[in-house]
C-alpha cells in the first residue's frame, strides 16, 4: 500500500490536556505560593471554620500538594533563568505542554504532532509528537524515521516552508537518497514584491548588485547573523534621488535615517535556495508539490473533524507520543480495510500465513 513516490511531511497542533490558565510565569507562581502559605497558616491557627475534622485534613492536604507543585515549578523556572524573562512559563497541569498558536490564531497549551504520509493511499509511515511549536529541524528526522519503518526511501520528499532554514537547503542538495521539494518562507511573497532582494540582479565581474531601478549596491563587509551564519552586506550608493526609495527601503535591515540607503544581506546558502525555487517553479515541480496538499492536509482534517481528535487525553511528552502512535495505527488499519480488505481476507485465509 506504499508507493514510495511522494512522501509528504507536515505537523498539526493538538491541544494538550492542560488548562491555559495554569500557564504561569515565575512571578505568578510565587504570588500563588504566598497565598497558599497564608491559607495554611490560617488553617493551622484555626482561623478557618470546617464542618468536621476530616474536611480540615482534606483541605490541608490539597493545599500542601499544590504548594509542593508550585515549589517544583519555581525551581524549574529559576534553573531556566526565568528571573530575567517574564515570558518563560510553566503549565501546572502538564508541564511539558507549551503555549502554541494554531492556524486559527488561537493560543493554547499544545503539542506539535509530526506526520509523514505516503501519497498512494495516505498511509502514515512515521509520526512523532514534539513540544516545540516550530517544525524546523524535523524534516530529516521524519524522513529518516519513515525510511526506517518502511525499509526504503521515497523518490520525492515534500514539506512546507516551516521546515527549512538556510542551512537546510544545502543539506537537502547533499542528500542523494531522495529529491526534495521544499519552499523557503519568502518564495511566494517575493514574487509580488518588486523590491525583494531576490529580484536584485548580480554582476559577478564587478561583485555588485543592481536594484530594479538600476541603482548599484556595492559590497560593504562580511557579517554574521544572530544564528552565526556568515553573509555579505551590500549597500546602495545613492537612494536619495530614487522615486521608489520609500517602497524599497522598507525591506532593508538598515533602518537608519542618517544613512538611508538600501542594504541586502547575501548568504552562501542563497544559491541553493534559488535552485530549489527553480525546481518548484518548473512544470514537473508544480505537479509534484501539489501532491502535498492532497496527501497530508486531508489527514489532519480527517483526524480532527471526522475522528474528533482535537485534544490529547494523556499528559507528558512520552505519554502523548504513545497516544498519537495508537491513533496512527488506527488510521492505517482503516486504510487497509478501505483499500485492501479483499487482499487481507485472502492473506488471512491462508493457514500458513496465520501460523
Band of pLDDT at residue 352, cut at 50, 70 and 90: low
Q: Among residues of the chain, what percentage have pLDDT more than 90?
A: 59
For 8, 61, 110, 150, 151, the CA distances from 124, given in Å and listed in that order, are 10, 46, 21, 10, 14
Supply the pLDDT for residue 251: 65
Measured CA to CA, the distance from residue 24 to residue 309 in angstroms comes to 26
H helix count then E strand count, the chain: 11, 13
Grid cell for residue 311: 485534544
pLDDT value at residue 253:
60
**What is the phi/psi pair of residue 25, to 5°?**
-90, 180
Of 173, 158, 344, 189, the C-alpha closest to 269 is 173
Q: Is the pLDDT of residue 254 over 60?
A: no
Q: Locate the domains of the chain by residue range.
A: 6-16+102-185+273-343, 20-91, 188-271
Mean pLDDT, residues 325-331: 97
pLDDT digits (tens, 9 = 90+) for 196-249: 999 999 999 999 999 999 999 999 999 999 889 999 999 998 888 888 888 887
What pTM does this model have? 0.82
Choose among 19, 69, 63: nearest CA to 38. 63
Q: How far apart are the first and last CA of the chain?
A: 23
Q: What is the DSSP string of 150-186?
A: HSS--SEEEE-TTS--HHHHHHHHH--SSEEE---TT
Distances (CA, A) of 196 to 193, 201, 223, 226, 247: 5, 11, 20, 21, 10
> Quick one: cell of 35?
497565598
Residues 40 and 64 sit within 8 Å (Cβ to Cβ):
yes
Amino acid at each position: 500500500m506504499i508507493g514510495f513516490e511522494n512522501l509528504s511531511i507536515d505537523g498539526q497542533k493538538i491541544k494538550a490536556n492542560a488548562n491555559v490558565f495554569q500557564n504561569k510565569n515565575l512571578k505568578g507562581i510565587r504570588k500563588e505560593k504566598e497565598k497558599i502559605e497564608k491559607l495554611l497558616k490560617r488553617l493551622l491557627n484555626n482561623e478557618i471554620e470546617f464542618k468536621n475534622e476530616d474536611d480540615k485534613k482534606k483541605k490541608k492536604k490539597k493545599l500542601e500538594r499544590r504548594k509542593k507543585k508550585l515549589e517544583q515549578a519555581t525551581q524549574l523556572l529559576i534553573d531556566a533563568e526565568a528571573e530575567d524573562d517574564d515570558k518563560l512559563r510553566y503549565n501546572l497541569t502538564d508541564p511539558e505542554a507549551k503555549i502554541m498558536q494554531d492556524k486559527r490564531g488561537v493560543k493554547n497549551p499544545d503539542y506539535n504532532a509530526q506526520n509523514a504520509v505516503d501519497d498512494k493511499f495516505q498511509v502514515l509511515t512515521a509520526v512523532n509528537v514534539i513540544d516545540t511549536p516550530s517544525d524546523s529541524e524535523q524534516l530529516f528526522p521524519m524522513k529518516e524515521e519513515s525510511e526506517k519503518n518502511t525499509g526504503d526511501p521515497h523518490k520525492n520528499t515534500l514539506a512546507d516552508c516551516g521546515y527549512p532554514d538556510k542551512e537546510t537547503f544545502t543539506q537537502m542538495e547533499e542528500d542523494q537518497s531522495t529529491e526534495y521539494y521544499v519552499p523557503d518562507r519568502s518564495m511566494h511573497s517575493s514574487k509580488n514584491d518588486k523590491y525583494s532582494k531576490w529580484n536584485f540582479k548580480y554582476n559577478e565581474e564587478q561583485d555588485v548588485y543592481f536594484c530594479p531601478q538600476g541603482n548599484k549596491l556595492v559590497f560593504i563587509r562580511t557579517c554574521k547573523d544572530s544564528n552565526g551564519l556568515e553573509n555579505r552586506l551590500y549597500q546602495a550608493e545613492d537612494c536619495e534621488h530614487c522615486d521608489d526609495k520609500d517602497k524599497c527601503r522598507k525591506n532593508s535591515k538598515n533602518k537608519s535615517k542618517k544613512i538611508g540607503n538600501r542594504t541586502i544581506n547575501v548568504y552562501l546558502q542563497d544559491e541553493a535556495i534559488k535552485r530549489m525555487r527553480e525546481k518548484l517553479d518548473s512544470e514537473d515541480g508544480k505537479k509534484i508539490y501539489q501532491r502535498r496538499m492532497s496527501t497530508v492536509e486531508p489527514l489532519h482534517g480527517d483526524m480532527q473533524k471526522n475522528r474528533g481528535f482535537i485534544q490529547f487525553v494523556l499528559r507528558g511528552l512520552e505519554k502523548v507520543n504513545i497516544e498519537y502512535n495508537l491513533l496512527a495505527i488506527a488510521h492505517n488499519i482503516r486504510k487497509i480495510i478501505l483499500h485492501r480488505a479483499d487482499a487481507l481476507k485472502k492473506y488471512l485465509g491462508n493457514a500458513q500465513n496465520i501460523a
